[in-house]
Chains A and B, each alone.
Chain A
Amino acid sequence: MGRYVIRRLLQMIPVFIGATLLIFLMVNVMGDPVAGLCGDRRCDPATAARLKKEFGLDKPVWQQYATYMGNVFTGDFGTAFNGQKVTELMSTAFPVTIRLTLVAIVFEIAIGITLGVLTGLRRGRPVDTAVLILTLVVISVPTFVTGLLLQLFLGVEWGVIKPSVSSEATVDELIVPGLVLASVSLAYVTRLTRTSIAENRRADYVRTAVAKGLPRRRVITRHLLRNSLIPVVTFIGTDVGALMGGAIVTERIFNIHGVGFQLYQGILRQSTQTVVGFVTVLVLVFLMANLIVDLLYAVLDPRIRYA
């Protein structure tokens, strides 16, 4: 187990370097890193040249990347366009987005898996068809439309929730935004669980469990569900990173000042340091989530052992 984890951690290094280098190149090559520093106007050439020299942007890209990564490992993520430290932005943005993501994941697990089990056991019945159609509709309507409609009805028309989230962004304010963020993944989790359950319910171990007289409830939760969860856990694990990065839309609709908000500002204002810094952290989160998923396999399926 320990050796497996160490091997996996070592394998992550090239992927981490590659992904951060890629986003670094994308922001630097595609955009003009000093463009955002003169407000909405273009920098005049002399100022641009001076700024570039000051930030070391006249050096070759690989050297810039090495310097940047060196700084990141000492905890210095640079400064955003408005002079704030990127680490400062992170310390306010990440707690908010982590809360939002957790709410979304709870929805995915609670609603998604429940509906999946329910429909998987009743394949072809009216419940199954209804839920299946519902998931298709949720997937095909863009999230921002769903979000805006929920905000309009629940927030503005009926006054059930506050249409915009305060700067504290407490968990109860994040319930509806979390549901919006989770919506598409929720539909996928439902469908994945359904397929997996439907496939496994005819498996030998289920028949054995039924034959030895276990109560139906125990067969479903302990035998069927546990073995059917592997693809679902894989999906949810890779989704953690996607949710945090994809919160841009949800955070914009509900005015949540989290990671998505900072990234959106960073991208529009071409603040290299903000974008690369946040994405670096997101890549780390994504890699760790993947590792945890692989370790969970062994918990779910006793046949899987890591030496």
Chain B
Amino acid sequence: MPDLMKSPAADEPEVALAPPSGKAAEAGEVGGARSLWGDAWRDLRRRPLFVISGLLILLVLLVSAFPGLFTSADPGSGDLTNNFLGSPQLGHFFQDDWFGYDRQGRSIYARVVFGARNSVMVGLGVTLLVTVFGGLVGMLAGYFGGFWDSLLSRITDVFFGIPFLLGAMVVLNAFTDRDVWVITGALAFLGWTQIARVMRGAVITTKHADYVMAAKALGAGTKRILFRHVLPNAVAPVIVVATIALGTYIVAESTLSYLGLGFASDAVSWGADISDATQDIRNNPHTLIFPAGMLSITVLAFIMLGDAVREALDPKLR
């Protein structure tokens, strides 16, 4: 979470260098006008939605980084004789049988803990790829306009025209050994268009701003104008869309698993577990509820975060 806030904030002094009339120049004064992000941060800290989702995301990140801290059970080993579809013991906090056992006698709690990593990595990986690539395409199209805009926008339209899930399925079907990287690549391959469109729109509104003109007049190079002036001021809507999209990529991964085109069956992932549980949902709903619940809570946290940031950044909604 703090990372999200840090990057644009870190650029503030840089922005302040060139445009003397820019809002960032005043940000340095103690008690004076605040920057857009500083203002948003003050506003966000007081929002319960933001605090809850931020804490949830921190927890999920912690679980995916160090699953061993939360359980000592092995998510891959099952005891069929004793644990076959054992029901959850909700009082046994953090024990192996807390969430019950699946049809191979494996601890669902351990699988939920260890499965976090794959889902989170797909979500973060796809978001990172599409933000960098889509952001670049959108920025170039929006800033240069004319021929480049037409070309890049048509290419974006081409990728946008192919249904997202379908395209990912076609790509994934070519791989028998599907790991995090393959799934991330397949989702990013068709997913970047949304960010590109948002970024293009944001850059078009930013590029005529006074401080961009001022930087141009002072003789700043195109690269400097793009990355020091246009980007920091156009990045807000992109961050909002990317945060919300992160959740939907996690959902997409689980959907692909349900369709048999996600992680290989031996991988520990929420998507694969939910998909396995669908055969037991009538008599043993606990096999579905816990992985699906964890996935939904994670996705919910990212969407709420994006929402909270959007509301904080949009003065029209204050």
Contact = CB atoms under 8 A, between A and B. Distances in A.
Interface string B230-263: 0000000000000000011001001100111100
A145 interface: yes
B120 to A, nearest CB: 15
A279 to B, nearest CB: 7
B161 A152 contact: no
B170 A27 contact: yes
A43 interface: no
A286 B164 CA distance: 13
A141 interface: yes
Contacts of A282: 163, 166
A181 interface: no
The range of chain B's interface size is 35 or more
Contact of B281 (A23, A31, A152): A152
Contacts of A140: 247, 251, 296-297, 299-300, 303
Contacts of B255: 142-144, 249
A14 to B, nearest CB: 6
Contacts of B296: 137, 140-142, 145
B167 A23 contact: yes
B299 A283 contact: no
Interface string A126-157: 00000000001101111111001100100010
A135 to B, nearest CB: 9
A148 B174 contact: no
A258 to B, nearest CB: 13
A26 B158 CA distance: 13
Interface stretch (A53-61, A70-78, A92-100, A260-268): A260-268
Given A26-B167, A140-B251, A140-B299, A267 B157 contact: no
Nearest to A283: B161
Given A22-B159, A137-B300, A30 B173 contact: yes
Interface residues of A, number: 46
Contacts of B199: none
Contacts of B90: none
Nearest to B288: A145
Contact of B259 (A156, A241, A252): A252
Interface in A234-291: 241-242, 244-246, 248-249, 252, 263-264, 267-268, 270, 275, 279, 282-283, 286-287
A15 B158 contact: yes
**Residue among B162, B167, B281 with max Cβ neighbours from chain A (10 Å):** B162
B155 interface: yes
A93 to B, nearest CB: 14
Contacts of B154: 14-15, 18
A22 B259 contact: no
Interface in B285-303: 288, 292, 295-297, 299-300, 303
B170 A23 contact: yes
B158 A141 contact: no
B165 interface: yes
A244 B166 CA distance: 10
Nearest to B244: A139
A242 B164 contact: yes
A69 B255 CA distance: 32
Nearest to A29: B174
A30 B258 contact: no
A286 B259 CA distance: 24
Interface in A14-59: 14-16, 18-19, 22-23, 26-27, 30-31
Given A136-B304, A139-B303, A249-B258, A270 B173 contact: yes
The 4 closest A-B pairs by CB, nearest first: A245-B163, A18-B158, A30-B174, A140-B299
8 contacts: A18-B155, A19-B157, A142-B255, A142-B296, A144-B274, A152-B281, A270-B173, A279-B163
Given A142-B255, A142-B274, 13 more contacts: A26-B167, A136-B304, A137-B300, A140-B251, A142-B292, A143-B251, A244-B163, A245-B164, A246-B164, A246-B165, A249-B255, A267-B170, A283-B161
Interface of A: 14-16, 18-19, 22-23, 26-27, 30-31, 136-137, 139-145, 148-149, 152, 156, 195, 198-199, 241-242, 244-246, 248-249, 252, 263-264, 267-268, 270, 275, 279, 282-283, 286-287
Interface of B: 154-155, 157-159, 161-167, 169-171, 173-174, 247-248, 251, 254-255, 258-261, 274, 278, 281-282, 288, 292, 295-297, 299-300, 303-304, 307, 316-317
